[in-house]
Structure 1
């Protein structure tokens, strides 16, 4: 089926992005322009424009004389990205504490109750969904579009790694405790406390991922 859109390359980029995040186009995959254009019933011009967009986002890398490949996220990449995310999301929590209304806090209260229920039942997929909704709301409450834009770009790279830090031993309970600390600071309108708690939350995510990677690494005989 041929795509129809005011900005065709944006829609092509969105479809490719979705396939990358779903794992259909795995890290390291060569993106064959001819085959992809045939699959999507488009010319190669909007496809190439879409690949440029994904390259800027860091999801795709272009190699001269070879073409485009789905990017691969290294441990060093994650070591560099998470401290930046911690700073940025920490600032969002700071600003959210200043801007949140009583109604906003009630919505966050409901979300944290769902988060707690999912944690107790060890429903990890549902926990991830509630966790994401909480982070998104805090970013929205900050009301800073520049922070939101940069965080969104960095999250795409992290998502590319298809990380499952909640599978690390004890991480689910630790994550819930960290979230409750952030929320307590938000309710108290403690901007600095919310910022510090959010930074800790992101830093511990990275630590959990590092430990999980070590546990999964094959042992040398």
Structure 2
């Protein structure tokens, strides 16, 4: 399908970002510019501009004389990124507790009710979508565009890992309880408590991913 847009390379970047996050362009894989240009019915120029955008975001790496490759996220990357995200999203929860109106909290309550329904039904994909919406809502309620910008950039990198932490034994139920703890603090206008609960939530996400990685290595063997 031909792409038409005032800023074509931005739309191309969005399409490529989607393919990376869905795993169609796998971590470490070569980005075939000729094939992609043909698939998207565009010239190489907007494609190369789009790849520059993704390189700046850390989703693609460029190797001289070899071309572009989809970036890979290591365990060390996750160990370094998660504490930063926990710190930043914790601060968002702190500021959201100070700024949220009664109407904002009612909207958040509806999101948490959906989250609980999906957890009970073990609809992990739907749970993940509701979970993401809650995090986005809290970031928006914080009203701090600098926090939002940095968190968005870091989330793109973490998403490359194709996170499956909700599949860790007991993690779905644990995640729900963590979210409810954050929401309880927000309803109480307890900024310090909301910050601590959010940081705990993000820290435990990393612990769940680490456990999954250990289990996968043990199944594969030496």
TM-score, normalization by structure 1: 0.97
Shift of 1:220: 3.4
1:122 matched to 2:104? The reply is: no
**1:74-103 CA-partner distances (Å, limit 9, x unpaired):** 111111110010011001000000000000
Please show how residues 53-202 of structure 1 align to structure 2 within 5 Å.
53-202=53-202
26-35 or 183-192, which moves further after superposition?
26-35
Partner-residue secondary structure (3-state), 2:65: coil
Structure 1 vs Structure 2 CA RMSD: 1.1
CA distance in 2, matches of 1:220, 1:53: 39
Aligned match of 1:215:
215
Aligned match of 1:10:
10
**1:31-70 CA-partner distances (Å, limit 9, x unpaired):** 1222221222211111111000000111100111111000
Note closer, same or farther for the CA distance 1:216–1:32 as it changes in structure 2 (3 Å cut). same
32-41 or 163-172, which moves further after superposition?
32-41
Partner-residue secondary structure (3-state), 1:68: strand
Moved over 4 A (4+): none
**1:166-199 CA-partner distances (Å, limit 9, x unpaired):** 1101111111111011001100101111001000
Structure 1 unaligned segments of length 5 or more: list them: none
CA distance in 2, matches of 1:220, 1:95: 46
Partner-residue secondary structure (3-state), 2:158: helix
CA distance in 1, matches of 2:61, 2:34: 17
Partner-residue secondary structure (3-state), 2:61: strand
Structure 2 unaligned segments of length 5 or more: list them: none
CA distance in 1, matches of 2:148, 2:30: 31
